[in-house]
């Protein structure tokens, strides 16, 4: 992905994600954090993107820090924090760069699916374990096999939002999902600019992730369907994991 394409994606990210039920995610995480029973709880959001979840939790009074590999996303998160007059420490780095001490590490919006190798998953779980306080927790979500195989599959999707048109050509070749995306932005007077990029994710099996959690010193606390019901249906497109440091 070129820098220009990534910058374009970052600028339009919140528009493209406007149907995501962020408020439900924030409510779930805030309730989970509240049950941990620590008044000065420290939360680190890994893969924080433009900071929507982190800032929502910050508004609830939690201490938050964000980590993301994209400087463009972090720049937008800083601007959003400034508009809200909120302090939000933001660091650039990938999942394996996690160094901040925390009581709760979170990763939302299928960030884990961007970790393409088993070793990458294990490395992140180990880093999270090392950074967490005693009995600290790790909370994250994944896109499910059902979503990759039945919803995204080999389909083509298109959106038109304000001055942005987007075409998503998907291909799922288990265990990897490839999204070839073309973004067209209006320059006015009938002129358009185009940016192309590809997003690659891996479909991780629930049983494998539970095994990796156990092997890296965690105990599974629970599974939920998309930050909601603990009854996970066969058509679940997102599963939320919570694990506690042993």
* pLDDT (mean) for 227-241: 95
**Number of other residues whose CB lies within 10 A of the CB of residue 143:** 22
Calpha distance 169→24 (Å, rounded): 29
Kindly report the average pLDDT of the chain as a whole number. Answer: 94
Task: Give pLDDT, residue 195.
Answer: 87
Asked whether residue 7 carries a pLDDT value surpassing 80, the answer given is: no
Pair of tokens at residue 51: 């900071």
Question: Which residue ranges form the domains of the chain, and what is each CATH number?
Answer: 3-142+204-245 (3.40.50.150), 147-202 (2.20.25.110)
pLDDT tens string 73-129: 999 999 999 999 999 999 999 999 999 999 999 999 999 999 999 999 999 999 999
Calpha distance 95→120 (Å, rounded): 8
What does pTM read for this prediction? Answer: 0.94
Task: Give pLDDT, residue 1.
Answer: 44
Which one has a higher pLDDT value, 189 or 44? 44
Asked whether residue 3 carries a pLDDT value surpassing 70, the answer given is: no
Task: Give pLDDT, residue 4.
Answer: 61
Task: Give pLDDT, residue 146.
Answer: 98
Pair of tokens at residue 219: 């105990």
Say if residues 202 and 178 touch (Cβ distance below 8 Å).
Answer: no
Candidates 57, 52, 43, 59; CA nearest to 10 is 52
pLDDT tens string 136-176: 999 999 999 999 999 999 999 999 887 789 999 999 999 99
* pLDDT (mean) for 195-199: 91
* pLDDT (mean) for 212-221: 98
Name the band, by pLDDT with cuts 50, 70 and 90, for residue 219.
Answer: very high
Q: Which residue has the tokens 């990534």?
A: 6
* pLDDT (mean) for 25-46: 95
Torsion of CA 141, 145, 150, 151, to 10 degrees: 20
Calpha distance 138→129 (Å, rounded): 8
Task: Give pLDDT, residue 115.
Answer: 97
CA angle, 142 then 5 then 90, to 5°: 60
Name the band, by pLDDT with cuts 50, 70 and 90, for residue 193.
Answer: confident
Alpha helices in the chain (DSSP H): 3-16, 22-35, 52-59, 71-83, 118-131, 145-146, 206-215
pLDDT tens string 60-74: 999 999 999 999 999
């Amino acid at each position: 992905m070129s820098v220009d394409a990534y910058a374009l994606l970052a600028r339009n990210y919140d528009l493209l994600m406007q149907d995501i039920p962020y408020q439900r995610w924030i409510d779930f995480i805030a309730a989970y954090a509240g049950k941990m029973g620590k008044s000065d709880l420290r939360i680190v959001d890994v893969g924080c993107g433009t900071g929507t979840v982190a800032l929502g939790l910050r508004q609830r009074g939690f201490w938050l820090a964000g980590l993301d590999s994209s400087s463009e996303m972090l720049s937008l998160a800083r601007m959003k924090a400034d508009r809200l007059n909120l302090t939000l420490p933001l660091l650039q780095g990938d999942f394996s760069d996690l160094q901040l001490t925390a009581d709760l590490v979170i990763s939302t919006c299928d960030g884990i699916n961007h970790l393409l190798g088993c070793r990458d998953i294990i490395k992140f779980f180990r880093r999270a374990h090392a950074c967490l306080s005693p009995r600290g927790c790790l909370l994250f979500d994944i896109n499910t096999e059902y979503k990759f195989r039945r919803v995204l599959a080999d389909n083509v999707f298109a959106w038109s939002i304000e001055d942005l048109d987007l075409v998503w050509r998907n291909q799922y070749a288990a265990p990897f999902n490839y999204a070839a995306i073309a973004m067209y932005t209006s320059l006015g007077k009938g002129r358009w600019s185009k940016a192309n990029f590809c997003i690659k994710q891996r479909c991780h099996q629930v049983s494998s992730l539970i095994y990796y959690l156990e092997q890296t010193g965690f105990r599974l606390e629970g599974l939920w369907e998309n930050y909601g019901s603990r009854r996970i249906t066969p058509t679940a497109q997102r599963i939320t994991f919570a694990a506690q440091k042993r």
